[in-house]
């Protein structure tokens, strides 16, 4: 589940890419 990744402590590479994806699409997280 992607939700678990966000809950996990510490910066994860997946979380960073997920944020970038939203940033590029112009969506707010």
Structure confidence by residue, pLDDT tens digits, 1-29:
555 555 556 666 566 666 665 556 555 54
Region for 9 from its dihedrals, namely left if φ exceeds 0, alpha if ψ lies in -120 to 50, beta otherwise: beta
pLDDT at 8: 57
CA 10 – CA 23 distance, rounded (Å): 20
- Cβ atoms of 5 and 12 within 8 Å: the answer is yes
Q: Where are the domains of the chain?
A: 1-29
pLDDT value at position 2? 54
């Amino acid at each position: 589940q992607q939700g678990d990744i966000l809950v996990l402590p510490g910066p994860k590479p997946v979380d960073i890419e997920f944020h970038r994806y939203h940033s590029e699409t112009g969506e707010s997280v």
